[in-house]
Structure 1
């Protein structure tokens, strides 16, 4: 399931209000794009996670993980993929003091500067369904083992769509997906009838048809 929570850096103590950790199904799509198409856009991204919980459970879960600047300083083994990384060629002295040619891939962290500069531009929008008839969203209550409150149940709005902008989607593809990515957040609404109102409307229309079948046009 996709989880949106606050992030706390144990090194610098900075708290980022929003961090997104994607579910396995979206992570799989990220891996396929990172290995094949290298076209990091969200045109093929499924925008609906059936187990996503919103509003967030209180108190807000606070994930402890290094922020991206501290990762660059203290943990350069953090995986950042660069699938279009070029090869470097040159000459050097080996252990026998002989000149030899060598070929290596360029540093896989050479896109860290870009990643840090694009951090403020990563953005996710939550599209919340709101019925245009009853003016209410549809809620759910179910058990959940990963993201739960004291009653071992979760409460949230049904059918929320996750809309990733291209910058956030690119870094979801380029990173290993083991940790959450800091992101900006905004919310919007999807105005469409809820299932309850659709069913009630169908019942009312059925009663009208039954009434018209049992009376003449003047009575109707």
Structure 2
């Protein structure tokens, strides 16, 4: 599915976005970058009886002797995590997103990082925070997106918060909404500032960098 995508034509798309020198054309353009908690991962939120021990046994297949380290870093990043979270966390987009944010933060323009951890309540809460769930929230379009978001007061409230941030960013390059969000610091390699969008929004600093570093090390 990832083989289909835009092709550089020298007019609309000048070159591949990650080739050397490409970032120069957007040197002064602010960037907002983020992911959802689960993205395209196969989740196991339908396994209501899953235990931490059961999750650990499955993780050992992938992480081997690094399993305990993975679990410890995961719980440090997400203290209220469930066994299902351990097996469903996005490890595809998030590591690369951190790398891109690190690189982009060296430019003149600010970078704002976010993660949507709010989980969809539809289908008995089995979908998690999947790829694209942030779209109806950021565009405050719950009516058309309620098959993804549900239509609870919580969904409408989060949509109001996120869409306000997106509007401010589009208008000024700064997503801060003083009356709806905590201060959203621009991301730097040093501070790792990331806005968590959930039922209670908060700013975190390098909350999962070590976790994602471990994920990348296991892939090598």
TM-score by length of 2: 0.25
Greater relative CO, 1 or 2 (CA 8 Å, sep 6+): 1
Structure number with the higher strand fraction is 1
